[in-house]
A and B are shown apart, each in its own frame.
Chain A
């Protein structure tokens, strides 16, 4: 095949938005507040070179840095939202999300390998409506676990979500049970599921498949929780403690198995997959 890298990205401004203020090709590290050039960040793992802050990354980059090169085969690509409630403004939001993220939905599913260990894989896309779960995301994930069960593959996943997709109403809620069903079946068959929680993993995704894994890992500083911090602040009218709901906090409280830095994830996942694959050390 013709290597994708031979083609360049013309990086054109979106038609109709040429007059919008120039997007600064620089990202400010939210933690240490130093500016980093995006191209430089992209060279590495999207970590702030000064303080190690783990920038949010998109699902494709996640796949690229986690799976063995060239091993990923995507599935369920054409599964996309059908606007089941005909919710006002939803179609426009979907268009915008597609344009912004370059993806059809908020999760990419498929299979590949990590250090030669085959696995089913999913990564959620924060640029697509904050990774919210609607019926299409639920369907893609359910199929992933079902397919993994059929082919006896472990599942490695990177959940990330603002929660259930409001515009799909009750259908989004139902996905929590639906995906849980598929996770349960996969688990009952003796297969491994590892989740690496990303910043931010909240709402209906946290309250279902994200926290049902055999091994729950998390990226440093990832926000993990059921209710979002703002909602809690509003409801309880109290200031939240420092580090509240961050991965480190969750580990302290007993809900995260291990915090893994981005640099070390691939190795650790490879090791865990190998350990569960039977065979010698």
Chain B
């Protein structure tokens, strides 16, 4: 498939949503609501549960499974209150030394007057700030679309994976087409120029690994579970400082080498 077809595949309704993954690999999942400031955003799922015999914090950007659900969840585009909900849980994870598992699928953070009034930028900034200081391992997987800052807000992690047909980008190809090419029709060129595929991300060092999907996504769920499991095992040997430092160094080297 070409670059834009991959984008469409990443956006496909057939893809398992975050809840599918959570229900698959987390037992005794207790979802908790609210950001304690303003509201409860259904685009962001947060809570805690058992991953194997480890207690973990779970965060997910949820697109929804049918039309009413999708509307309720704003198609996975979180408002500032969604990010602030996740912020609360990140702090909880730190307090109780719980690893954090993130399932990311979003076209981007919610865009609107309300989102701006409630500080969308500040919410994402605070998440990044918080995540970069955590002493617990943070593992993130992009299961569909990794839409820019709205996705990064849950992906300032120790390890990041992508499913093989997922995409990750600073801007949607539609956005890039109109801004750079001044032609909304040039989405294929934009997709190619932006280099958004999992393969690209791996070559850039932006992700640690690509996870297989299988024809009907039958491989995806266990692949994610196994990846998380193996990673958590390796982090068990590290101190909190080490974990924080590893995350810092991971991002430190991204973008280029100017030594």
Q: Is A bound to B? A: yes
Q: Is the CB of A170 within 8 A of B201?
A: yes
A203-214 vs B, CB cutoff 8 Å, 1 = contact: the mask equals 110111111100
The interface stretch among A6-14, A28-36, A224-232, A268-276 is A224-232
B196-219 vs A, CB cutoff 8 Å, 1 = contact: the mask equals 100011001010000000000000
Q: A166-B180, A254-B119 are in contact. Are A176 and B149 (CB under 8 A)?
A: yes
Q: Is the CB of A177 within 8 A of B111?
A: no
Q: Of the candidates A164, A167, A244, which one forms a contact with B116 in the assembled complex, judged by CB atoms under 8 Å apart?
A: A244
Q: Is the CB of B193 within 8 A of A85?
A: yes
Q: A151 on the interface (CB 8 Å rule)?
A: no
Q: A39 on the interface (CB 8 Å rule)?
A: no
Shortest distance between the CB of A53 and any CB in chain B (Å): 23
The interface stretch among A43-51, A113-121, A135-143, A258-266 is A135-143
B86-120 vs A, CB cutoff 8 Å, 1 = contact: the mask equals 00000000000000000000000101110111111
Q: Is the CB of B129 within 8 A of A84?
A: no
The interface stretch among B10-18, B45-53, B251-259 is B251-259
Q: B176 on the interface (CB 8 Å rule)?
A: yes
Q: A178 on the interface (CB 8 Å rule)?
A: yes
- B residues 219-259 near A (Cβ < 8 Å) are 247-248, 251-252, 254-256, 258
A255 to B148, CA, bound (A): 22
- Residues in A with CB closer than 8 Å to B115 are 226-227
- Interface pairs (24), CB distance under 8 Å: A138-B255, A164-B149, A166-B171, A166-B176, A166-B180, A170-B168, A170-B169, A170-B200, A171-B254, A171-B255, A173-B152, A177-B132, A180-B156, A183-B129, A204-B149, A204-B170, A210-B121, A210-B125, A211-B126, A212-B129, A226-B124, A235-B112, A244-B113, A254-B119
- A residues 232-270 near B (Cβ < 8 Å) are 232, 235-236, 238, 240-241, 244-245, 250, 253-255
Q: A175 on the interface (CB 8 Å rule)?
A: yes
Q: Is the CB of B170 within 8 A of A139?
A: no
A118 to B206, CA, bound (A): 36
Q: Is the CB of A227 within 8 A of B116?
A: yes
A134 to B252, CA, bound (A): 14
Seed contacts A185-B132, A204-B148, A232-B113; 15 additional CB < 8 Å A-B pairs: A88-B193, A135-B254, A166-B176, A167-B180, A168-B255, A169-B196, A173-B152, A178-B252, A180-B131, A180-B132, A207-B120, A207-B128, A208-B128, A225-B120, A244-B116
Report the nearest B residue to A139, measured CB to CB.
Answer: B258
A26 to B133, CA, bound (A): 48
Q: Main SS of the interface on chain A? A: helix
A168 to B200, CA, bound (A): 13
Q: Of the candidates A84, A174, A202, which one forms a contact with B251 in the assembled complex, judged by CB atoms under 8 Å apart?
A: A174
Report the nearest B residue to A83, measured CB to CB.
Answer: B256
Q: Of the candidates A209, A210, A232, A255, which one forms a contact with B112 in the assembled complex, judged by CB atoms under 8 Å apart?
A: A232
Q: Is the CB of B120 within 8 A of A226?
A: yes
Q: Of the candidates A181, A245, A255, which one forms a contact with B247 in the assembled complex, judged by CB atoms under 8 Å apart?
A: A181
- Residues in B with CB closer than 8 Å to A277 are none
A184 to B94, CA, bound (A): 15
A87 to B176, CA, bound (A): 12
Q: B27 on the interface (CB 8 Å rule)?
A: no
Q: A150 on the interface (CB 8 Å rule)?
A: no
- What are the 3 closest A-B residue pairs judged by CB atoms, nearest first? A135-B255, A226-B121, A206-B121
Q: A79 on the interface (CB 8 Å rule)?
A: yes
A213 to B204, CA, bound (A): 30
Report the nearest A residue to B176, measured CB to CB.
Answer: A166
A241 to B176, CA, bound (A): 27
- A residues 212-228 near B (Cβ < 8 Å) are 212, 224-227
Q: A82 on the interface (CB 8 Å rule)?
A: yes
A62-73 vs B, CB cutoff 8 Å, 1 = contact: the mask equals 000000000000
